[in-house]
Amino acid sequence: MIKNIQVLRAVAALLVVFDHWAALYGGLLQRIGATGAVGVDIFFVISGFVMIHATAGLPVSPGRFAASRIIRIVPLYWTFTIGLFLGASIAPGIFRSTTTDLEPLLKSLLFVPYPANPPNVAQRGAVSPVLFTGWTLNYEMFFYAIFSLSLFLRNVFLQRVTVLAALCFLVLVGITFQPAGFVAKFYTASLLLEFGYGIVLGMFAERWIRLVPNRGVGWLVVIVGFSSLLAITSYFPASSRGYVLGPFALFTVFGVVVLERQGVVVRSRLWLLLGAASYAVYLVHLLSTVLVVKALSRLPKGPETVALCGAATLIVAASVGVAIHLWYERPLGRWLHARLPARINRGLGQSAGPVVTRFSAK
């Protein structure tokens, strides 16, 4: 397991929580909190990196890979999406911003992006699944579909190059033709490049690690990458996100991998658990954030109250996410894997969780 990658997942999830919590206040706090959106860029680079190592040295068939990805992503997302939809149907006064139309529900469950109606500028890209955070999963599942198809090729290097070529081609189509259709525009966005950065890192990390002479340089890579992400995220339009933020997200991910190889490893069980539960934290945090903010809304106004609310939001989101991971997500994943046909379940298993690679610290 690359422990530092697990911890970085936790950090990325908490950054997104901070972003959405701050957005509820508006003004300066919202502008500061918007830096937390870089958690998504980090997630995408990690996804590309993990896919290389989840399949490295294994005879992974497209069906096996697809089954693993579906079990990892779909059950929890469908649970929250359907639960939110039912909640809005039963108590529309509480879930006023959630649609109860069947078409948006079906598109959300099938990972088909569609625009917010009416458009909400707070929703980046105006993509609005029933569960808002699901907009990133549309990209994730699209990437997994491309990666799965590449596995029909026998040569591993050709598989990787094909995925990279497909991602670059789609972004080039977006630049050249600027498609007007919503779905076409969504799936030719520069964000796709961030998965490619992760793939490149997975392919060449061993060689790149040799170029880093010591821990000091490793720390410098992490600090430069992460601080640059936070510093520049608000100054570039979403259309250029993959070009500008993606490379610094790559620096950050590469830096934590380098540090692990050099013996700087985060071994905290709490942070590793948060990393394992980061997907659940990401999906559930909007509801927990709203509940915390409303519960504390009657406290006297002031910076102390805002700070208390922020801390409570992060703690509650993390706690609820961990509970869901331990008592629902993980047992359900194991149960579903156990029921896959043996020919599909062999080999890849549940490698989509903690990252197991040759880069583990020695």
pTM here is 0.92
Is residue 356 very low, low, confident or very high in pLDDT (cuts 50, 70, 90)? very low
* pLDDT computed for residue 333 by the predictor: 95
Computed from CA positions of residues 183, 36, 330, 354, in that sequence, does the dihedral angle turn out positive or negative?
Answer: positive
| Cα angle, residue 220 at apex, residues 197 and 244 outer, rounded to 5° | 35
Residue 149 amino acid letter: L
* pLDDT computed for residue 247 by the predictor: 97
- CA-to-CA distance for 76 and 329, rounded, in angstroms? 6
- CA-to-CA distance for 29 and 16, rounded, in angstroms? 14
What length is written for the chain? 362
Is residue 123 very low, low, confident or very high in pLDDT (cuts 50, 70, 90)? very low
* pLDDT computed for residue 117 by the predictor: 66
Mean pLDDT of 51-66: 86
- CA-to-CA distance for 72 and 118, rounded, in angstroms? 32
Mean pLDDT of 118-124: 45
For the segment 214-237, what is each residue's pLDDT rounded down to a tens digit? 999 999 999 999 999 999 998 888
Is residue 197 very low, low, confident or very high in pLDDT (cuts 50, 70, 90)? very high
Is residue 126 very low, low, confident or very high in pLDDT (cuts 50, 70, 90)? low
